[in-house]
Amino acid sequence: MKLFRWWRGILLAFLLLAVLRFFLPLPFSNEIIIFSIYTMGCSFLLGRVGFISFGQPAYLATGAYATAFYLFYFGTNPYIGILIGILAGLLISLIVGPLFVRLRSDYFALVNLALAVIIFYMLQKVLVDITKGDNGLWFLTNIASTPVLDLSKPNHFYIFAFLVALAIWALYKYLNDTIYGACCLASKINEDKVKFLGYSNFKIRLTAFVIANTTTALAGSMYAIYLGFVSPEMTSAHRAADPVVVTILGGVGTLYGPIVGAIAYTGMKDLISGLIGNWELFIGFLLVFIMLAGEKGIWGTLEPLLKKALFRKNAFKSE
């Protein structure tokens, strides 16, 4: 029973996703799933550790390009590609992490954005010989068919992405419930007192940073395999705010926020850019509007209401 309660929220969220699969076109569902994996890391950083990362595209691109390099130049197995993407994400977050997590959260936001722009330049200009610059790397035909789940087929890919997302949600849920999650929250609220308790802020934040950005890199390599090509455009400054916006749209710090936010944001973006040519203008005003509208986001507003409606009896019991 206890285990069921622990899983309840996740199962509900995923039931929603699974149901949506039959109502929405497949590319859109895939987009949503990858996007919500992408946002999980950012949501964790912002909600739990208090770091606003405007540089998530940097880690996304790291994962995506690592996978792309493997599939373009060396091998054909998409699973190994994803593994390499994760390793690359782990590597870059271990390199920049110790430097970045010492910073105050405002510097952190700026430095991350700077990193994203630098990686953009590197992919576009500096490493043009191997990244093919703005043309991007195309390797859709290089991806080999694999047994059981064939990632080169979009419907199989959906199942795979679904399972990955479920695993990552479970991981974050688990993290939130452990003492480590409590430490993260504590270091967000009052770092001095965490120090007095004998925990190291640096270690707490570095771990969070590495976990979050490895997740982001994973999302990146899944993008790469799903689309079959990568280009520097994915790190462009225009998209820097995407994960943070989705996080806030879904509600900061809520576990199911990323999925709700991803559905809403991807939907709005697709709708708007389909209808109107000058999408930048509308995305811009959309962002301003969302920021002005509410602090809790969509999920944060809905969650208490839903809880009241669905779990009234249980809520009383647990108190």
Partner 1 sequence: MMDTQLLISGVIFGLSIGSIFFLMAIGLSLCFGLMRIISLDQLLYYSIGAYITYSISLVTGSLWLGALAGMVVAGVISFGVERFIFLRIYERDIAFTMIASFGVLIGGVGVIKSIWGVIPRPVPIPMVTQISILGTEVPFYRLLVVVISLLVYVAIWLFLNRTIIGKAIRAGIEDVEHVEGLGINVYRLFTTTFIIAGTLSGLAGGLHAPLIMVDPQMGLEVMPFVFMVVIIGGLGSIKGTLISAFLVGQVVSLGSLIYAPLAQMAPFAIMLLILLIKPTGLYGSKLLKR
Cα–Cα distance measured from residue 47 to residue 175, given in angstroms and rounded to the nearest whole number: 13
Closer to partner 1 by Cβ: residue 111 or 185: 111
* Interaction pattern, residues 112-141, with partner 1; x per rule: CB under 8 A: -xxx-xx--xx--xx---------------
Q: Is 186 in the site for partner 1 (CB under 8 A)?
A: no
Q: Is 279 in the site for partner 1 (CB under 8 A)?
A: yes
Cα–Cα distance measured from residue 235 to residue 217, given in angstroms and rounded to the nearest whole number: 12
Q: Is 284 in the site for partner 1 (CB under 8 A)?
A: yes
Cα–Cα distance measured from residue 27 to residue 161, given in angstroms and rounded to the nearest whole number: 12
* Interaction pattern, residues 33-52, with partner 1; x per rule: CB under 8 A: -------------x-----x
Q: Is 291 in the site for partner 1 (CB under 8 A)?
A: yes
Give the one residue of 24, 91, 103, 268 binding partner 1; rule: CB under 8 A: 103
Cα–Cα distance measured from residue 239 to residue 61, given in angstroms and rounded to the nearest whole number: 12
Give the one residue of 176, 282, 306, 311 binding partner 1; rule: CB under 8 A: 282
Q: Is 240 in the site for partner 1 (CB under 8 A)?
A: yes
Long-range pairs, 183-188, Cβ under 8 A, ≥24: 184/48, 184/49, 184/208, 185/48, 187/49, 187/50, 188/48, 188/49, 188/50
Residue of 224, 213, 242 lying closest to 64 (CA atoms):
224
Residue of 75, 128, 116, 74 lying closest to 216 (CA atoms):
116
- Contact residues for partner 1, defined by CB under 8 A: 46, 52, 54, 99, 102-107, 109-111, 113-115, 117-118, 121-122, 125-126, 237-238, 240-241, 244-245, 248, 252, 278-292, 295
